[in-house]
Amino acid sequence: MGRKRKTLDDWCKEHEDLQIATKDSEGTRTLVCKYCNTEMVTDPAKKPYDRIREHLMSSRHKKFKTASKEAETAGTSQQTLFDMSCRQRAKETEADGVIHDFVRALAYSGISMHQADGPLGDFARKYCKAAKTMPTGQRLRLKYLKEAFDKDMEKIRDDMRDVKVSVIVDESPDITGVPTINTLLCYYSQKNVKKHVVLVDVDRVMHRTVTRWPAQLARRS
């Protein structure tokens, strides 16, 4: 058996400068620095020990920590450079979280990112305070869609690490009599102590493949 993976609480106990925060509307917990509001990497594959140690030893972290301690000692209510920096970073983090959620909503609904340049994007900018700096549809597709995908893939990898997965494949006709392939992916999540069942629409994937690359498939067959 390998070494047991550290939880966020374990990291906080080991380093008093770290704390747990919620980073998006889904309530995802993450590890951040108390003084710099910087998110810490905890994935074992990304050398978290070295990265956290490097951050805690950085001059930027020490500067913010010292400023915070001095403000606490003085008991002043005057806004410091540290306070302004934290507030600005918090606003940027909130805005990025909203934009990532907006991108997910578009992608899951099958809506083009370019709709952000139209009435839908105008609506979000008008009524959602954190979305006032919503980028263009092209930037959403080139930057934020990839970031949202990477974050979701990281969640999936964390959730399915060291768990048993069962795959059930069944071929049966749909309501119109057309043959389809139904695939169920089942696994038990250690985080929320719940069984997850995901329906994978394989027939659509195969249909798109045949439609998009008919010549290549014909040559191989």
Q: State if pTM tops 0.75.
A: no
Torsion angle of C-alpha atoms 85, 86, 87, 92, degrees rounded to 10: 90
Percent of the chain with pLDDT over 70: 74
Reported as a pLDDT band with limits 50, 70 and 90, residue 41 is confident
Sequence spans of domains, the chain? 1-78, 91-162, 163-220
Which tokens hold the place of 148? 């949202």
- Could you write out the three-class secondary structure of 61-128? HHHHHHHHHHHHHHCCCCCCHHHHHHHHHHHHHHHHHHHHHHHHHHHHCCCCHHHHHCHHHHHHHHHC
pLDDT digits (tens, 9 = 90+) for 133-156: 778 889 888 888 888 888 888 877
Sign of CA dihedral 211, 213, 216, 221: negative
Instruction: Check whether 81 has a pLDDT greater than 70.
Output: no
| Nearest residue to 35 via CA among 58, 6, 14 | 58
Q: What's the mean per-residue pLDDT of the chain?
A: 76
Q: What band does 1 get if pLDDT is binned at 50, 70 and 90?
A: very low
In whole angstroms, give the CA distance from residue 162 to residue 188.
10
